[in-house]
Amino acid sequence: MSAGIGVSPGVAVGIAARLGGDPSYTESDNKVPFHAALSAAAQELERLAASVAAPAADVLGAQALMARDPVLADRIAGHQRAGHPADRAVRAGFAEFRELLAAAGPYLAERVADLDDVRDRVLAHLHGTTLPRIPRPGYPFVLVAEDLSPAQTATLRPGQVLAIVTERGGPTSHTAILAKALGIPAVVACPAAATIGDGQSVLVDGLAGTVDVEPPAGTIAAALEREDRRRAAATAVTGPGRTADGHPVKLLVNVGGDRDLDTTAEGVGLFRTEFLFLDRDEAPTVDEQRAAYGRVFAAFAGRTVVVRTLDAGADKPLRFATAPREPNPALGVRGLRAARRAPELLDGQLRAIAAAAADHDAQVWVMAPMVSTAAEAADFAARAHAHGLPTAGVMVEVPAAALRAEQVAAACDFLSVGTNDLAQYTMAADRQHADLAALLDPWQPAVLELVRRTAEAGARLGKPVGVCGEAASDPRLAVVLVGLGVTSLSMAPVALPAVRAALAAHTLADCRRLAAEALS
Ligand code: PEP
Ligand code: MG
């Protein structure tokens, strides 16, 4: 048995098919000019983005933006003017663009995979071929790869691809988040993936993070039985979230756009609004925003929808809102901080949210990302209240906000812990960095300690404290988070049944005991 990191739960057994190798081209044999290839790649990515739901659509939209970046086209044109054939000019242009991006900060480890995928698409169009990417063996299979780009993952069909095993990749990489959204079991950062050949039988456990090559029948049977039990337990429990002794915990969903909304959930705990802003040169108008937010509010009529205002910067750069060339974008002008540079952006967004809220009968709450101080929380709440939005809270994803949670909570109406960034900033470990997965683990006691402080501060002041980072979707951790005192959990819709079942199997006292154990 080989170990990796399980990033999407589920057990699957099937025949391995490896991702096709890179196509080889004759350098001088280009079929179209490079700018046509760039534009074809951008259109292809835009088409893909339009055909899938968030978060895949956001990632693909960002890739399309890369293909349309005039700096990239200038670089390639420069190489062509210097006498290089188009193929070499494209490769050299992308290599330079990659360096430019890398100079903008360490989070680029992840974006570089996205950029390489764009380059490969451009080269394929240049040579009039298609990418020999996802294998099609004619039967459902286990996809094995060194790594997968978000674009490749986004287009996988769950019926065809039984599971994913990659050599590289990290737990909060785009690929991992997309695999989970598609419900395909996945194990990443598994070195043994390099040795799995086409046609071998493979057993993948996406919860345990294990991969067995040519497994004995007994091992397969035991794993499938375990999975059956897990699924049966998950679907046996229905209704609103509560512990075995009836303590209510709101179970909410994270949404990233206005498509594929799971309308059976109790509400939305995190509505990421970046999707509307990503593939643009300018911010969308207030009317356009109002219509897009309204579609989500209509789908969740009568329930709470927590809208997060724009979280631009770091891993979500926007042309019109992100400070150029920050040496350290994760520590730069991102989230609410961008409102200092462009207050009209936040005000326009709050106006649009308030207008959409008035059009529909969802209970609309707003929250700000990347808040560090009580003063920032107070400022945000005052702005939101001034727009007629009565419930304004902030995300706790910076250790400073967790350490001063009482003051921060006093300055606004609720808190929501973003464990993805809270782990990154607490452990000083880039959330995109595959090698730092152990440090980024939300089970780290230091991170749990900050969740506890935040939840306790909320309880003292009678204000809700939710968790909306990926940690909330792990059923075992969800139990611990409830034991630490959080009042709601927000997650990818696929994770809801297992979390609901885990809570129903534990009393509040069990949750508290497990939380104390996890902390110690
Ligand atoms: C988080 O940081 O945990 C979070 C929910 O926000 P995002 O993943 O969008 O940064
Ligand atoms: Mg965050």
457-507 pLDDT tens trace? 999 999 999 999 989 999 999 999 999 999 999 998 888 998 999 999 999
Contact between 269 and 471 under an 8 Å Cβ cutoff? The reply is no
Which ligand gives the minimal distance to the CA of 255? 1
pLDDT (average), residues 190-197: 94
Beta bridge pairs of residue 235: none
* Residue pLDDT, tens place only, 298-331: 999 999 999 999 998 777 777 777 777 788 889 9
366 closest CA partner among 311, 316, 322, 422: 311
* Residues of the chain above pLDDT 70, percent: 94
Cβ 469 under 6 angstroms from ligand 1 = yes
Residue 382's Cβ-side half-sphere holds a number of Cα atoms within 13 Å equal to 7
State if residue 430 touches ligand 1 by the CB under 6 angstroms criterion: no
Q: Which long-range contacts (CB under 8 A, 24 or more apart) does 228-236 make?
A: 230/9, 230/498, 233/498, 233/501, 233/505, 234/497, 234/498, 234/500, 234/501, 235/497, 235/501, 236/501
The ligand that comes nearest to the alpha carbon of residue 416 is: 1
Count of alpha carbons within 13 angstroms of residue 393, beta-carbon side: 27
Answer yes or no: 35 catalytic. Answer: no
Ranges 76-90, 204-218, 422-436, most confident? 204-218
Which residues place a Cβ less than 5 A from the ion ligand 2?
A: 397, 418, 421
With contact defined as beta carbons under 8 Å apart, do 142 and 148 qualify? no
Which ligand 1 atom is at minimum distance from the Cα of 274? 9
Task: Record the pTM.
Answer: 0.70
What is the enclosing helix (H) or strand (E) of 305? strand 304-308
Query: 334 pLDDT exceeds 80?
Result: yes
Most confident of 24-33, 243-252, 429-438: 243-252
Mean pLDDT, rounded, of the chain:
89
Q: Is residue 368 within 8 Å of 338, Cβ to Cβ?
A: no
* Atom in ligand 1 nearest the alpha carbon of residue 468: 5
468 belongs to the catalytic site: yes
Considering the candidates 79, 174, 360, 433, report the single residue annotated as catalytic.
Answer: 174
Whether the bond between 9 and the residue before it is cis, its omega within 30 degrees of 0, is no
Q: Name the 3-class secondary structure at 76.
A: helix
Looking at residue 62, what is its pLDDT?
82
